[in-house]
Amino acid sequence: MGLRKGWSRRVGRRLAPLGLLVMVAAAPAPPARVKAPDAQAAFMAGNYAEAYRLIGLAIAACRAPASQPDRCLDLLEAGTNQATAAGDALTAERWARQALALARTLPDRGEEALVMVTLAGALIGQGRLEEAEALDRQALPMARTALGEAHPFIAAIQNNLALLLDARGRHAEAEPLHRAVVASVRATQGETAASLPTLLNALADNLKGQARYRDAAPVYAEAVALARRISGPEHPTVALALNSLADLQQTLGRFAEAEALFREAAAIDGKALGPNHPLVGRDLANLGALYLAEGRLGEAETQFRAALAIAEAADGKDHPAVASDLGNLANVLVQLDRPEEAEALTRRALAIDRKAFGEDSPRLGGQYASLAFNLEAQQRVPEAEPLRRRALAIDKAAYGEAHPDAAASLSSLAGNLSLQGRYADAEPLLRQALAAQEAALGSDSLAVAGTLASLGVLEARAGRPAEAEAPFRRSLDIRRARLGEQAPGAASGFHNLAALLELLGRLDEAEPPARQALAIRRAILPPTHPDVAASETLLARILGARPATRAEALDHARVAMAIVRAR
């Protein structure tokens, strides 16, 4: 219960940054009437802070927009994108609005549509997704009228809309747009279009967001194969596709396959871009998250520290990408039982995002949730409650009460109240979160499975174990159907059910799921993982309650004790 919200290796430039994908569908960039070559070179080298500084100087030098509107417009558009990359979302918005005002003085409505999409990207950087969606929807018919349906920019706007809908949890609504963009690019540019692997990757991400893993896997594989054929085997586009495929394998508990793919992606980016490029930092963070899932905490810390060092060097110490890496590192430090160190990092990340995005940004909601998680790990549960409530208020204001992120924050608040023993306060919140997730994501989504498990835990803690069985069984059924029998989520479901049946005194029924949980965890996790120890301990208790199996119980207890001592 009280699952943490806010840590993500995908935040900032982890994989593809939504706010910078304006032209991802291979629409040609606006004519380069005037360039800032030094800024462009710094940007391509991954030195985003220097690129941002240089483009700012060029914009400041553009003193007469009325006499040279094309020049100033180009600089403002480029500056908006680089300000977003530099983590200065407020300046990005200011420059984008200046560009839009300038574009509206020109006769070309296609130019105006382009700048509207650029402004939408700046708003995305602040988490203002509803406003960004409205701008993209307004720009689409304008661009169609000015440029024609076959123009690549039309597909670019549709792609942005699809990504926005995904970000807002509306995956089913986004899927037709993703498919339309892929079809359009194939029809107009052919199978060698440079953007096609990225677009296929986005479609696969959409399917993964719907927990349609079997559908997503071949699309990811196609994206990898196309990227290799179009760009060559050692191009960063290949690394992007490999990262996404690896993430799917990790979700399914195929950790060895995921690690090989993540390492291949890191090798490609390192060779193509150099060891200190931000995309290499992304790859290291991905490896760190994998190690964290496997319980390889020391290795995870090493990867996260390396990713943080790259981000600080490339972006500066106050960039939101740095905040994301601070969050990742804090997460592993909590699990290494170093919560005070983690708290300092989390508070630093919160300060960075507050300065960059403002107090009401959804990014702040994630940071408040992360700080609450840290305080809960230190047993400072009442102190964490107002942070949980603040995160929930931000998510409701940004997304609406029915959004999955708001539901996740509601579930986390319920978890906090449950930890305080306030079960009567927690239960209605948890049921409200469950209803919102079922409505938004479907009754068989993994988010629903997680909330059902939390509900089962609450019922058991509240002294109503018999009422916990139904949500535990339903949660397990969803995880088995979605993830397969050998995934970590399925193991958790088996473990929860076995522990409940033990509590109810139904030992004969408890033994099979306890053995299943242990078998899965032994197969996919390192032998010293705490989840393995938990399953060994549970099975030892179940077997130890019956004289005929006490000898085996002692064996499992010894293994569990050895794991605890080793850690």
In a domain, 153, yes or no: no
> What is the structure's pLDDT at 477?
95
> pLDDT for 102-143, tens place per residue?
888 888 888 889 899 989 988 887 778 889 999 999 999 999
Over the stretch 44-63, which tens digit does the pLDDT of each residue have?
676 667 777 777 777 777 75
- The rounded distance, in Å, linking the Cα atoms of 340 and 362 is 25
Give 448-483 pLDDT, tens digit per residue: 999 999 999 999 999 999 999 999 999 999 999 888
- Give the Cα separation of 255 and 520 in Å (integer): 13
- Residue 63 has what pLDDT? 59
Does 544 reside within a domain?
Answer: yes
| pLDDT value of position 66 | 55
CATH code assigned at 562? 1.25.40.10
Judging by beta carbons within 10 Å of its beta carbon (0-12, 13-18, 19+), is residue 233 exposed, middle or buried? Answer: exposed
Q: How far apart are CA 292 and CA 300, in angstroms?
A: 6
Place of tokens 């699809």: 162
pLDDT of residue 34: 38
| pTM for the whole structure | 0.78
N-to-C CA span, the chain: 24
Whether 327 is in a domain gets the answer no
CA-closest candidate to residue 517, choices 537, 546, 547: 537
Q: What is the pLDDT of residue 68?
A: 67
In a domain, 93, yes or no: no
44 by Cβ neighbours in 10 Å (0-12 / 13-18 / 19+) ranks as exposed
Task: Answer with the residue of higher pLDDT: 549 or 84.
Answer: 549
Q: Sign of the C-alpha dihedral, residues 423, 427, 429, 434?
A: positive
For residue 435, being part of any structural domain is answered with: no
Number of domains forming the structure of the chain:
1
Q: In the predicted model, what is the mean pLDDT of residues 90-95?
A: 87
Residues 276-285 have pLDDT tens digits of 999 999 999 9
Q: What pLDDT, on a 0 to 100 scale, did the predictor assign at position 64?
A: 55
* pLDDT for the residue numbered 1: 32
User: According to the model, what pLDDT value does residue 484 have?
Assistant: 84
Asked if residue 406 has pLDDT above 80, the reply is yes
Distance CA 203, CA 179 (A): 7
- pLDDT averaged over the chain? 87
CA distance 273 to 449: 41
Say which residue, 169 or 13, is predicted with more confidence: 169
Is 477 within the bounds of a domain?
Answer: no
Where does the pLDDT of residue 65 fall: very low under 50, low under 70, confident under 90, or very high at 90 and above? low
Structural domain boundaries, residue 510: 485-567
